[in-house]
Structure 1
Amino acid sequence: MSLFKYGDLEREIDFTDVEFLENLDEAKELIKEEAAQVPKVGKTADIIRAQCQCYFNFFDRVIGEGAHEEMFGGKTSLNACLNATDALLASENKEADKLNQKYGNYTVQQHGNRQQRRKYDKNNRNKNRGNGTYYNGNR
């Protein structure tokens, strides 16, 4: 679990929870669809407001209803939305790195298929003969 902090929001997020990951994936798809519907022309304030609403919806879907209000304190700033998205992504990457490091301790090292093992053995056979170790050619 990871503690995600942004603005006044402070929540525990579990990036290994399947239900949370499904919500995150769904929210990512929905923000793409909503962003495609943001007007391209018009008043800059209206365009930024529509873009921010996409991010507000995203955070409410991922973290919980009303999360954007705690995060942004009632402000509608595209820069704050982008920073919050970066913070969530950094938290996700940090947790993925920790999980990969932990999981790496439990993986079985593969030494290739039969042909690759034979080639490895052939190349390393002579290296093992003169160093005082016993090697009879069988493995």
Structure 2
Amino acid sequence: MKINGVELQDLDIYDIEVAEKYEQAMNTLTGLDEKVKNLNGVESIRAICTLIFDVFNTMFGEGTDKKIFGNKVNLITCIKALEEFQIQMNDQKKEIEKLFNKYSPNRAARRSKK
């Protein structure tokens, strides 16, 4: 998996341990707008980036934020990296949907045959 040009280990969203970490990591971002609404610009950038750093450290291990971002705290870079991560995880989800759809009968097609 490549994030912000940095090669990281591939994750399998359907491995239970990875799925639990992923759910935990994404839950830290819930209500982000509420968490930063009373902060000034600099404070909100730091808070948002810190939460995103925590997502990567939760998923890939402590220190991953430094591998991906170095010592920079840049809001655009953080958001783009999180987006890259989300896209790659969502691509895995699409794969499993294709498998389920392959074995799930289409109700409308069955009904039209009656």
Count of matched residue pairs: 112
In the superposition, the TM-score normalised over structure 2's length comes to 0.79
Deviation at 1:29, TM superposition (A): 1.5
- CA, structure 1 residues 9+66, in 2 after alignment: closer, same or farther (shift >3 Å)? farther
Cα deviation 1:94-136 (Å, max 9, x = unaligned): 111122223333x152658xxx86x843xxxxxxxxxxxxxxx
- Structure 2, unmatched stretches of 5+, are none
Q: Percent identity?
A: 22
Q: Which position in structure 2 is the counterpart of 1:32? A: 30
| Greater RCO structure (CA 8 Å; 6+ sep) | 2
> Which structure would you say has the larger Rg?
1
In the superposition, the TM-score normalised over structure 1's length comes to 0.66
- Choose between structure 1 and 2: higher helix proportion: 2
1:57 aligns with 2:54: yes
- CA, structure 1 residues 86+32, in 2 after alignment: closer, same or farther (shift >3 Å)? same
**CA-based RMSD:** 2.5
> Any residues of structure 2 matched to 1:3-82 within 5 Å, and which?
4-6=1-3, 7-32=5-30, 36-38=34-36, 40-42=38-40, 44-82=41-79
User: Which runs of structure 1 show a deviation greater than 3 angstroms over 4 or more consecutive aligned residues?
Assistant: 33-39
Pick aligned residue for 1:109 from 92, 105, 108: 105
- CA, structure 1 residues 120+33, in 2 after alignment: closer, same or farther (shift >3 Å)? closer
- Structure 1, unmatched stretches of 5+, are 122-139
Q: Distance in 2 between matches of 1:108 and 1:34?
A: 37
Cα deviation 1:17-53 (Å, max 9, x = unaligned): 11111111111212336764336243x2232112211
